[in-house]
Chains A and B, each alone.
Chain A
Amino acid sequence: MFPTAGIGVGRAVAISAMIAALAACGDEESVRREAYASTYEALPSDPVLIRGATILTGTGERLEEADILMRHGRIAAVGPALDAPRGARIVDGSGRWVTPGIIDVHSHLGVYPSPGLQAHSDGNEMTAPVTAEVWAEHAVWPQDPGFVTALAGGVTALQILPGSANLIGGRTVTLKNVPARTVQAMKFPGAPQGLKMACGENPKSVYGSRNQAPSTRMGNVAGYRKAWIEAAEYMQKHEAGTADGETPTKDPAMETLAGVLRGEILVHNHCYRADEMAVMLDVADEFGYRVTAFHHAVEAYKIADLLAERDVCAAVWADWWGFKLEAFDTVRENAPLIDAAGACAIVHSDSEEGIQRLNQEAAKAMAAANRAGMAVEPALAITWLTRNAARALGIDGATGTLEAGKMADVVVWSGDPFSVYTLADEVYIDGALVYDRADPSRQPVTDFTVGTTESTGGLR
């Protein structure tokens, strides 16, 4: 009916009229929506009462034969012998364990999704060492099958970061791990954005190999300082500019860095070596920002006292090591040693495979510590995956522990979550059953795996 190239005249006119109408709407402030806002809405849920389970609350407590009630998307109560409200679904918790939803502070799901082909490489804007202007959320592919496998591993929230090729890689985003068509519908409501910074080998090798700065750790630090000096000046200019009634040109990179200096954006700093973390704390001191968490932090155990004193979290693997020199000094007891010094210890994945079994990663660290004569109980080890992770993401007021009033982000495990044989039976996000191992109708299937799910048995 219409010409094959272009659109018909009649249709073009109609579209022009629509655009005019939209422009008119835009004039009214009340209709204008906030750009990049979360559009997340909890999935529908009925009240759920889990009865007679072993509960790790994420606050350091362990309750035996205890109940947990979820209602209106929130945790209503945790304790012995709770009454079931009318219409509540009762879940038999005997022999099972209940924990807060697992939170991964370090993931590249969506920006380095499966299949990991060239076309999907969206995590590193490797065109300049400082790309504070890019946002991970603008690249997250919600159809990454890795979100679903992570969900089957009990992950209810996760931070997606740009990669570590750059000194300053861009803004991070924290997501609720719900299947959605858009990233906005996954964005954790109210969660602050983060800024990804990276120390050490990655930035200096990426740019050094191009005969560009930085090519050394010296160059790395010079690069951060240059960016922060510029950001401080930018802030000053913009504050002054407002006083004169002028509006200086906005710069998207500087907006990000100014957001950090104003305390609105949290710094997540990829950094392996103890000495480099100490240097990064000095950089933060010079410019008056806080490092919220060091990520990978293979040598955090060497400066655990410093991290405690400076109130900085350290997110670590259980046992990755040796893939590069700055990862040579791993110890299995890293997280427990950080914790024992009074610092905030987190076990993270940085891996679409590891994120599926963060409980096992924490288990290995816990068991190694106990073997070394430290006393680490499951009630403590779970905090590395829940409360402490929520704290690093600035969402600990909303989730991360099983306390009345918090979001009902909950995992029901088939047994002790620190056993290799234990699987997540049920996963709740805001009280909604988003994953049920026993019920295929509650196992999300991403568009990419349509066509293979039946034969593989699904991603679980």
Chain B
Amino acid sequence: MSGRLVALVACLWALIPAPGNAETIAITGATVHTMGPAGTLSRATVLVEDGRIKAVGADVAIPAGARRIPADGKIVTPGIFDPVSVLGLEEISLEPSTVDHVQRGDRYTAAFDVAPAINPRSTLIDVNRIEGVTRAMAAPTSAQADESGLRSSVISGLGAVFSLGGGDDYLTRARAALFVQLGSAGGSVAYGSRAEALLRLRSALGDARDYSENLAAFTRGERRAYSVSAEDLQALQPVLAGRIPLVANVERASDIGAALRLADEFGIRLVIAGGSEAWRVADALASAEVPVILNPLVNLPADFDRLEATLENAARLHAAGVTIAFSAGAGHNPRNIPQAAGNAVAHGLPWHVGLRAITRAPAEIFGLADEVGSIRPGLRADLVVWDGDPLEVTSFPDQVLIDGEPIPMVSRQTLLRDRYRRPEGDRDKALPPAYVRPWASE
């Protein structure tokens, strides 16, 4: 990174307000989609105090001294929650020194915990939060088997939910879910066959159960050898206890079925991620109350695991009673998750379910519905004031609040734009763009 760039980024970060001095804020006059018991409210006020929602409704008393954000004619929604994210764990995808979500080899499996690696001031954060993304599940992945013979574990590790607010207190919940790779992805990570991918997972879970039931004997060295390390066995305990979900990246219907049976066998809370053919087993997913995180744009037979991919996946799953959440495909643009939701709506999903799939549903899936994902008293004030329909490609947030803090609505990208979009009269100025400092005029 050049010194100039460092300076630019440093200046940008300086714009991020320090946490802990949360003011009382009233957003007034908007149509508020609470995604909570209050439903949708017209000309409502959302009152924010100490970073949390104090009240929402048409007749909310606004305390004297509260900062008002007039939002007449605007739409307010909960912040967008990216359910399977590289945010915080990646800068440049093809530069391994900047990528921290990949677990390589199998020295650690379930114990691979990405939380300490998260950078809440990553260069991806401002770009995405000014378009409404407020929380993300930073998710581990497994390295593909490579020519050197390296094989990684199908158990990728533990993901963490964090805030895009940029403050020091960014971790919402560490070790919030365990991620595994099944289907052909699992096969290619490690062992060739999806059968062995599943077997490896089953062995680890069996070992973890045995370990917890025979801790004393294990300590005395009187148990059989386990397939994973003691750290991994410990990391698997919350999964076996049903305290955190196991998120299985899997596409093919039959593989989803196998995952369902495994989860049933161990009493695990399963979440399907990917799920291109999930609609095929929608009834089984609904009766097992297993949610699906999907990219609703996947409609091509990209491989033989996705022969029955369809743009109606989301609508069909919803119709069968499956909880759905949307991902835009792990990458730099979770800001496009609302676009994905809009497309699902264009292909038969009710609009409110589309909005729910990017706000409340991911919060529920990760057991955080009492923290984020809807607008009701007591929850963290992750709020987006939109200039139009939030699922529409031509809409943008006017203001985003994270933990009750209005964020600066600038990003490195908007600053670059402004640096090069010099007024006509400015063109002939002798100085090159390096001297143009748009952040100074903000």
A-contacting 9-mer, from B45-53, B237-245, B416-424: B416-424
Interface size on A, residues (CB 8 A): 53
Contact A457 to B391, CB < 8 A, known contacts A116-B303, A330-B413? no
| Interface pair B394/A363, CB less than 8 Å apart | yes
| Interface pair B417/A337, CB less than 8 Å apart | yes
Convert A308-327 into 0s and 1s, putting 1 for each residue whose CB lies closer than 8 angstroms to a CB of B: 00000000000111111100
The answer to whether the Cβ of A412 comes within 8 Å of any Cβ in the partner chain is: no
| Interface pair A352/B333, CB less than 8 Å apart | no
Interface size on B, residues (CB 8 A): 50
| Interface pair A332/B346, CB less than 8 Å apart | no
A-contacting 9-mer, from B21-29, B77-85, B336-344: B336-344
Contact A321 to B420, CB < 8 A, known contacts A360-B339, A419-B393? no
Chain B positions 284-313 with a Cβ under 8 Å from a chain A Cβ = 297-304, 306-312
| Interface pair B393/A364, CB less than 8 Å apart | yes
Convert A172-213 into 0s and 1s, putting 1 for each residue whose CB lies closer than 8 angstroms to a CB of B: 000000000000000000000000000001000000000000
The answer to whether the Cβ of A24 comes within 8 Å of any Cβ in the partner chain is: no
Pair count A-B, CB < 8 A: 137
Chain B positions 365-415 with a Cβ under 8 Å from a chain A Cβ = 387, 391-396, 413-414
The answer to whether the Cβ of A367 comes within 8 Å of any Cβ in the partner chain is: yes
When distances are taken between beta carbons in the complex, the residues of chain B under 8 Å from A337 are 417, 420-421
The answer to whether the Cβ of B350 comes within 8 Å of any Cβ in the partner chain is: no
B57 to chain A, nearest CB (A): 30
| Interface pair B95/A325, CB less than 8 Å apart | yes
The answer to whether the Cβ of B91 comes within 8 Å of any Cβ in the partner chain is: yes
When distances are taken between beta carbons in the complex, the residues of chain A under 8 Å from B302 are 114-116
| Interface pair A323/B300, CB less than 8 Å apart | no
When distances are taken between beta carbons in the complex, the residues of chain B under 8 Å from A448 are 301
When distances are taken between beta carbons in the complex, the residues of chain A under 8 Å from B396 are 367-368, 371
Point out which of B299, B310, B343 has the most chain A C-beta atoms below 10 A from its C-beta: B299
**What is the interface of chain A mostly: helix, strand, loop, or mixed?**
loop
When distances are taken between beta carbons in the complex, the residues of chain B under 8 Å from A116 are 302-303
The answer to whether the Cβ of B433 comes within 8 Å of any Cβ in the partner chain is: yes
Point out which of B123, B310, B394, B395 has the most chain A C-beta atoms below 10 A from its C-beta: B394
The answer to whether the Cβ of A132 comes within 8 Å of any Cβ in the partner chain is: no
The answer to whether the Cβ of B214 comes within 8 Å of any Cβ in the partner chain is: no
| Interface pair B433/A420, CB less than 8 Å apart | no
Contact A452 to B308, CB < 8 A, known contacts A117-B303, A352-B300, A357-B343? yes
A360 to B333, CA, bound (A): 15
When distances are taken between beta carbons in the complex, the residues of chain A under 8 Å from B124 are 322
Convert A417-460 into 0s and 1s, putting 1 for each residue whose CB lies closer than 8 angstroms to a CB of B: 01111110000000000000000000000001100100111011
Contact of B336 among A117, A146, A319 (CB under 8 A): A319
A3 to B44, CA, bound (A): 85
The answer to whether the Cβ of A328 comes within 8 Å of any Cβ in the partner chain is: yes
When distances are taken between beta carbons in the complex, the residues of chain B under 8 Å from A459 are 299-300
Chain A positions 72-90 with a Cβ under 8 Å from a chain B Cβ = none
B123 to chain A, nearest CB (A): 8
When distances are taken between beta carbons in the complex, the residues of chain B under 8 Å from A329 are 413, 416
Chain A positions 362-381 with a Cβ under 8 Å from a chain B Cβ = 363-364, 366-368, 371-372, 374
7 pairs from A and B in contact (CB 8 Å cutoff)? A117-B304, A321-B332, A367-B395, A419-B394, A421-B342, A452-B308, A456-B310
A interface residues (Cβ-Cβ under 8 A, vs B): 114-117, 145-146, 149, 201, 301-302, 304-305, 319-325, 328-333, 337, 352-353, 356-357, 360, 363-364, 366-368, 371-372, 374, 418-423, 448-449, 452, 455-457, 459-460
